[in-house]
Structure 1
Amino acid sequence: MDFSGNGTEESELYHAQVHLYKHVYNWVSSMALKSAMELGVADAIHNHGKPMTLSELATALKLHPSKVGVLHRFLRLLTHNGFFTKTKVPSENGEEEGEIAYALTPPSKLLIRGKSTCLAPIVKGALHSSSLDMWQSSKKWFTENKEQTLYESATRESFWDFLNKTTESDTLTM
């Protein structure tokens, strides 16, 4: 490419790279959501009955102190993506500025286990390694002469059969 012009091509290339990287790394958001769901972040906040500070959340989730920084980064990403919201809670001594706390949003309320609206099993199934691995065989699926879904081609069972099996076996642990 010739960038000696007015910068339009350079700008287009830059925006194209941003677009490409956004889609290449978008899986990070899904994996952060999966981690939060598996840890039970929404459950912890819901059970607490009010927004939770990072330290309260880390304690409730029984995290090792070395993992609190990673939890903070996950929460920052998930807050940016609309799964949690940040608010300030007053300090206990009333003199200091309030501490940041995390609260539920409508999407994170869909992850609360035991509620009729809980979609955690769908998240778990859709982000399960077998669901993600199926994309590794998409070329094979497109070129084979069989009428089946991509998931069936990769795993030899339907996604719904897998999800039902997984949901039934996870009922006790969810």
Structure 2
Amino acid sequence: MQTGVVILNWNAAKETIICIESIKAWSSTSPNIYVVDNNSSKDDQDILIAHRHKFNLIKNTVNKGFSGGNNIGIKAALADNNAAILLLNNDARMAEKDLYLLLNTLTSSREIGVIGPVLYDYYTNELQNAGGKDIGWNYISHLTSLPEKEKVYDVDYVSGTAMLVRSEVFKTIGLFDERYFFSGEVAD
């Protein structure tokens, strides 16, 4: 399944390049990588431009936030006919085997449109996020423990840090609501 990876950058080009290098190190798959720069400083953009042979660079003239920035990358990934799109924060890393686990789960059922991994802190191995529940309340409740014995479980939303989305989902229900500049857009 051809996969596009969308990485949003805002004044963190060095971190973004490290993220890209980690993906380029994968041995069995070569996803299309789309870096959306959200109007970073000239110095930061210059770093991305120097490495642009490794990815598709899309430069915004204004900072469009999480929703608007990712939407631009998603549109590019959809235009290239990627069957699935991985949104990955530039400070996150994903092992190739974990991408395969997500892809296998995503393709195992037409009922699954979005899937996210359990997120752990790189240095402490502490559980950071396991999806979320209770979006109906006036707050967002991140799960900080895992359901026993379940490898895959339903949540109301997955973290925008790393989420794999079947392309048909974006084609059917649309992109992120750009009224959410940062935070809340994933739960929406």
TM-score (norm 1): 0.21
Structure 1 or 2: larger helix share? 1
TM-score (norm 2): 0.20
Which of the pair has the greater relative contact order for Cα pairs under 8 Å at 6+ separation?
2
Greater Rg over alpha carbons, structure: 1
